[in-house]
Amino acid sequence: MRKMDYTKLLMIPGPTMVPNTVLTSMANPIIGHRTADYGELLEDTTEKMKKVFMTKNDTYLITGSGTSVMDMAISNTVDKGDKVLTIVNGNFGDRFYKIAKIYAGDGDNLIKLENEWGDSAEPEKVKEILEAHPDIKVVTVVHNETSTGVKNPIEEIGNVVKDYDALYIVDTVSSLGGDYVAVDKFNIDICVTGSQKCIAAPPGMAALCVSEKAWKVINETETKSFYLDVKTYKKKYDDKKETPFTPSVTLTYAMNEALDIVLNEGLENRYKRHEKLAKATIAGFEAMGLELFAKERARSVTVTSVKYPEGIVDKEFRGIMTNKYGISLAGGQAHLGGKIFRMGHMGEAKEYHILGTLAAIEMAFNELGIDATGGVDAAKKVLNSEI
């Protein structure tokens, strides 16, 4: 195995940089996952998770990726032939569609509301579809599409869906803890998230919360998963404050510490910090003369997507960023591969991370023959201003 370089600055849309206190928490001794000690740790972590979700709903930690809880949300609520509306304007919205296709089947019952990649979904169109199909059982949406740097208006969509029988399922994997998410206020029935984005814990742990409305549907839906059967998580947690299967004890330590950091900073302060970093990043790219991919009304506060100037090769540009400057950026996904790059500014990202990354981007583009300057100064003006 080649020697790895672990010093790179992660400015990608996840995983993100993890604070040292979170990393060192994983060095705590392993404890039995069927002991009172772990039960206390699990309960404490779950209660902190509820605060970040802003919910009173049942909440569970899952050892798995964000996709595991996307799968969990669908497999526990959808039977073959059920009507599902998936809102798609990026790679992860499309992932919800693919998951729904497995459980609902691929027929007229599976409705895809496609939006332009780079733009946000329109609540009015969701309402039109629900009016035309009142028997829709589930509506899914991704709050923050890291594939495009777009965020969807989940509060407004929630205000639409609440007037129908459909369950409202929202992916907040790359927004929770960085952008405003209030599960109960937004009328979300099942909200899912992951550890490695705005929460800034290591990858490998996910969470979801379940409303009373969702429980009624879950209890009437055929269980199609053994490991991801949410009813078993409820029973074990209610009875013994345990998980039904062996959890990652070390990741539970990490999540507990990471959530402490989120809550100690304060959710409002954290939202404002992410918003300011996003505005500084956008101002920097615009000052360089680069074209942003996401439309202005739809731009994320946790990741920014940028179109490549003509003649720039993705591999060359990101190669310079990685090998010369030690900074990791993300490329485009699906049909956007080679056409855009993406810069994450979430979790524990600070002002100096933004400025340093913009400076390196300027130098990388200059090396490739693109006159890109002024980004750092423009970002500084935003960071020095009151927002």
Q: Say whether both 173 and 234 belong to one domain.
A: yes
Instruction: With respect to residue 4, please indicate whether it lies within any of the assigned structural domains.
Output: no
Instruction: With respect to residue 30, please indicate whether it lies within any of the assigned structural domains.
Output: yes
Domain boundary among 220, 249, 264: 264
Asked whether the predicted pLDDT for residue 387 surpasses 70, the reply is: no
Asked whether the predicted pLDDT for residue 29 surpasses 80, the reply is: yes
Question: How far is residue 199's CA from residue 174's CA, in Å, rounded to a whole number?
Answer: 9
Q: Say whether both 42 and 78 belong to one domain.
A: yes
- The pLDDT confidence band at residue 2, using thresholds 50, 70 and 90, is low
- The pLDDT confidence band at residue 183, using thresholds 50, 70 and 90, is very high
Instruction: With respect to residue 357, please indicate whether it lies within any of the assigned structural domains.
Output: yes
List, for residues 233-255, the tens digit of each pLDDT value: 999 999 999 999 999 999 999 99
Query: What value does the mean pLDDT take over residues 28-57?
Result: 98
Query: What value does the mean pLDDT take over residues 336-340?
Result: 97
Q: Say whether both 271 and 210 belong to one domain.
A: no
- The pLDDT confidence band at residue 7, using thresholds 50, 70 and 90, is confident
Question: How far is residue 48's CA from residue 186's CA, in Å, rounded to a whole number?
Answer: 19
Contact indicator for 358, 379 with CB cutoff of 8 Å: yes
Q: Say whether both 221 and 293 belong to one domain.
A: no
The full length of the chain comes to 387
Q: Say whether both 50 and 149 belong to one domain.
A: yes
How many domains is the chain partitioned into structurally? 2
Query: Assign residue 164 a region: left if phi > 0, alpha if psi is -120 to 50, beta otherwise?
Result: beta
DSSP H helical ranges for the chain: 20-25, 36-53, 66-75, 91-104, 123-132, 154-161, 212-218, 230-240, 249-265, 267-287, 314-323, 351-367, 375-383
Burial of 221 (0-12, 13-18, 19+ CB in 10 A): middle
Instruction: With respect to residue 173, please indicate whether it lies within any of the assigned structural domains.
Output: yes
């509306």: which residue's tokens? Answer: 85
Q: Say whether both 96 and 194 belong to one domain.
A: yes
Question: How far is residue 150's CA from residue 133's CA, in Å, rounded to a whole number?
Answer: 27
Domain boundary among 264, 297, 320: 264
The pLDDT, as a whole number, for residue 119 is 98
Question: How far is residue 240's CA from residue 35's CA, in Å, rounded to a whole number?
Answer: 10
Hey, how many other C-beta atoms are within 10 angstroms of the C-beta on 226?
Answer: 9
Listing DSSP states for 189-225 in one string gives: SEEEEESSSTT---SSEEEEEE-HHHHHHHTTS----
Query: What value does the mean pLDDT take over residues 18-40?
Result: 98
Asked whether the predicted pLDDT for residue 15 surpasses 70, the reply is: yes
Query: What value does the mean pLDDT take over residues 2-22?
Result: 88
If one compares 2 and 374, the residue with the highest pLDDT of the two is: 374
Full residue range of the structural domain in which residue 358 is found: 9-14+266-383
The pLDDT, as a whole number, for residue 214 is 98
**What pTM does this model have?**
0.97
Instruction: With respect to residue 2, please indicate whether it lies within any of the assigned structural domains.
Output: no
């672990």: which residue's tokens? Answer: 6
CATH number of the domain that 338 lies in? 3.90.1150.10
Q: Say whether both 235 and 337 belong to one domain.
A: no
Q: Say whether both 226 and 274 belong to one domain.
A: no
Ramachandran angles phi, psi of 275, nearest 5°: -65, -40
Question: How far is residue 307's CA from residue 314's CA, in Å, rounded to a whole number?
Answer: 10
Instruction: With respect to residue 115, please indicate whether it lies within any of the assigned structural domains.
Output: yes
Q: Say whether both 220 and 326 belong to one domain.
A: no
CATH number of the domain that 165 lies in? 3.40.640.10
Cis (ω within 30 of 0) for the bond into 309? no
Domain boundary among 244, 264, 284: 264
Q: Say whether both 97 and 123 belong to one domain.
A: yes
Strand order in the sheet with 340-344: 303-307, 340-344, 330-331
Which amino acid type is present at position 123? P
List, for residues 345-377, the tens digit of each pLDDT value: 999 999 999 999 999 999 999 999 999 999 999
